[in-house]
Structure 1
Amino acid sequence: MDTLTLNAVTKSFGSTDVIKGVDLTVKDGEFCVFVGPSGCGKSTLLRMIAGLEDVSSGDVTIAGKRVNDLAPAKREIAMVFQSYALYPHLTVRDNMGLALKQAGVAKPEVDAAIAKAAGMLSLEALLGRRPAELSGGQRQRVAIGRAIVRRPKLFLFDEPLSNLDAALRVATRIEIARLHRELGATMIYVTHDQVEAMTLADRIVVLRAGKVEQVGAPMELYNNPANTFVAGFIGSPQMNLLDAAALGLTSQTLGIRPEHLALSRSAGRLPGRVSHVEKLGGETLVYVVTETQGLLTVRLFGEHDYRVDEAVFLTPEESRAFHFGADGKRLY
């Protein structure tokens, strides 16, 4: 069964087209991530699914039912926001159970739902506190718990980790992945962070300027990007895009991942100088300025002792290269 279907969905604000004919199917139980740069339309698309933005044209279908004209509360969705959106005067327990209480659900059922969600999120000891007494990570867990108790057909996450520090982002990301496995729920997750997309998604939807550039599993996008935009956006550090003609090749642009660019002090196809070195322990990133290709990134596994301004040589591993035409589309 398909939980969500978007059919030729568009959104315009006056004369400005923001979403330009998106077609997408999200299957039951799937974790689907919308990713793309700021301004690509990913949050607008999520808000259209939620009913917080009107659809200019096309159809939004949830669990087989067209919902274009339904209010958000009638769509059987639950949304987790970047800002947490908790009521400051209510306890954790009351924040989590408010929607069920307003819907007239019996108190024993509400209490049972809260207890189950609190157990899944390790919130049992915090149920009597108010949001001001919680850390950022705890508040986000409460917001997720509030969504869980509603038992929606579709969970929508709008950049939920953006306000957390680096360590909490990783911990909460792992928690969301675990919850998806335990609940078996359908989730749509918006982020600008492609690392979040790669680590959470069953499928990623890459958006640019209101259009879908490519949809696929994380490693499918990494290993088979459809164009230079997807190739450059998916992967951290991002792919190097080289002028193929300067290397004596016939394709317009050559894409090479940082880990597939060999670095040597003695010989290679591209001479250059080290511009910057990032020593990360398990890996070393070396940034090299070349005359014909500009700044290129090399990923070396383990510890390496390269120095700024040191003369080096680079050689692309051509068997692992991507070839793109003048229009940016993948040739092979």
Structure 2
Amino acid sequence: MGSLTLENIRKSFGSVEVLKGIDLDVRDGEFVIFVGPSGCGKSTLLRVIAGLEDATSGKVLIDGQPVDNVPPAKRGIAMVFQSYALYPHLNARDNMGLGLKQAGRPREEIKARVATASKMLGLDEYLDRRPAELSGGQRQRVAIGRAIVRNPKLFLFDEPLSNLDAALRVNTRLEIAKLHRELKATMIYVTHDQVEAMTLANRIVILNAGRVEQIGTPMDLYNRPANLFVAGFIGSPKMNFIEAERLGESGASTLGVRPEHITVDPASGDWKGIVLHVEHLGADTILYLDTEKAGLITARLFGEHQFAPDDILFATPQRQRIYRFDSEGKVVA
């Protein structure tokens, strides 16, 4: 079992309130990701769950039991850090088994658990190497293996891929997704990268300035954002926001349309504009258009298109995919 409940978690550092009343229920076996901009409180919240920080008020429950006064080592959690935190003088095998050794587990049990984790992570040929002899991706896998051997109730990941290059991030992301399926373990994961959140999570918790903006599945957040912040945070390129009065729309303050929900045509359409810049990405073409009615907008087209700066194009949004927001940034039904 590995359920987690947070009840009105608040955390202040002096006069600065970093967490402002967080409520959350994580089911056993769920993969939940905290995402948000820098300084939103996501890493602080993870550290409160781990017991590395004390909440100013509120309760943390693991499997229904309060753990606010339980030290980190007794909470049944394992944490994977951004910095790997490996001992440089130990090889990969000993780094993975050190926690069990310190806990006094039998040598054969340690050997068996390390072997299982190593096979799962493809580390068998690297077990005798020290961290300096490993790549960044291999070091991160060793750090993940160290967590696996403890057989924890909760896995906590604090931006584990941010030190890796783009290719390694993709590979390690696939390994973490596979690991979750195999272990069926509860995982709480912090990242600022919405792509990681969208591709890994069962549910995403979007944080902003110490508060929860919305909780939902990746596609819930993409298709049904609760407010301007969520709508602008989820999706790449980000959603276009247009002042409603520019388009003569009533009953809303701001209109939103995602770049992939805009079509362009050289001959006719709703918004006439001039191409400012084109990004040719192979699978996609991203256009930045300065339109007469809607202002500067971004359009994402599937495939390769031979448009160029200074071309005149007409952009047309999919009417059924336009979002409407009131003056406070909330979605208007």
TM-score, structure 2 normalization: 0.98
CA contact (8 A) 1:323 1:330 kept: yes
Tell me which residue corresponds to 2:244.
244
CA contact (8 A) 2:272 2:315 kept: yes
SS in 1 for 2:3: strand
Tell me which residue corresponds to 2:108.
108
CA contact (8 A) 2:275 2:289 kept: yes
Letter in 2 for 1:282: A
For residues 312 and 115 of structure 2, the distance between their equivalents in structure 1, rounded to whole angstroms, comes to: 62
**Structure 2 residue 265 is the aligned partner of structure 1 residue 264:** yes
Letter in 2 for 1:293: A
CA contact (8 A) 1:2 1:25 kept: no
Deviation per residue, 1:66-125 (Å, 9 max, x gap): 111111111110000000000000110110000000001000000000000000001011
Q: How does 1:51-62 map to 2 (within 5 A)?
A: 51-62=51-62
Deviation per residue, 1:104-159 (Å, 9 max, x gap): 10000000000000000010111111000000000000000000000000000000
Q: Which runs of 5+ in 1 are unaligned?
A: none
For residues 7 and 201 of structure 2, the distance between their equivalents in structure 1, rounded to whole angstroms, comes to: 22
Tell me which residue corresponds to 2:231.
231
Aligned residues between the structures: 332
Tell me which residue corresponds to 1:195.
195
CA contact (8 A) 2:272 2:293 kept: no
Deviation per residue, 1:291-330 (Å, 9 max, x gap): 4533211010011011012122212211111111111001
Q: Note the C-alpha offset of 1:38.
A: 0.5
Tell me which residue corresponds to 2:172.
172
Q: Which moved more, 1:260-269 or 1:296-305?
A: 260-269
Letter in 1 for 2:284: E
For residues 8 and 294 of structure 2, the distance between their equivalents in structure 1, rounded to whole angstroms, comes to: 40
Tell me which residue corresponds to 1:314.
315
For residues 327 and 142 of structure 1, the distance between their equivalents in structure 2, rounded to whole angstroms, comes to: 46
Tell me which residue corresponds to 2:219.
219
Letter in 1 for 2:324: H
Deviation per residue, 1:231-285 (Å, 9 max, x gap): 0000111111111221121121111111111212222222221111111111111
Letter in 2 for 1:19: L
SS in 1 for 2:43: helix
Letter in 1 for 2:128: G
Tell me which residue corresponds to 1:41.
41
Fraction of identical pairs, as percent? 66
For residues 276 and 38 of structure 2, the distance between their equivalents in structure 1, rounded to whole angstroms, comes to: 28
For residues 63 and 166 of structure 2, the distance between their equivalents in structure 1, rounded to whole angstroms, comes to: 36
Letter in 2 for 1:258: P
SS in 2 for 1:190: strand
Q: Note the C-alpha offset of 1:287.
A: 1.0
For residues 75 and 293 of structure 1, the distance between their equivalents in structure 2, rounded to whole angstroms, comes to: 53
Letter in 2 for 1:134: L
SS in 2 for 1:32: strand
For residues 45 and 306 of structure 1, the distance between their equivalents in structure 2, rounded to whole angstroms, comes to: 46
Q: Which runs of 5+ in 2 are unaligned?
A: none
Letter in 2 for 1:148: I
Deviation per residue, 1:134-185 (Å, 9 max, x gap): 0000000000000000000000000000000000000000000000000000
Q: Note the C-alpha offset of 1:286.
A: 0.7
Letter in 1 for 2:172: T
RMSD across aligned positions (CA): 1.0
TM-score, structure 1 normalization: 0.98
For residues 109 and 295 of structure 2, the distance between their equivalents in structure 1, rounded to whole angstroms, comes to: 63
Q: Note the C-alpha offset of 1:51.
A: 0.8
Q: Note the C-alpha offset of 1:200.
A: 0.2
Tell me which residue corresponds to 1:209.
209
SS in 2 for 1:97: helix
Q: Note the C-alpha offset of 1:209.
A: 0.1
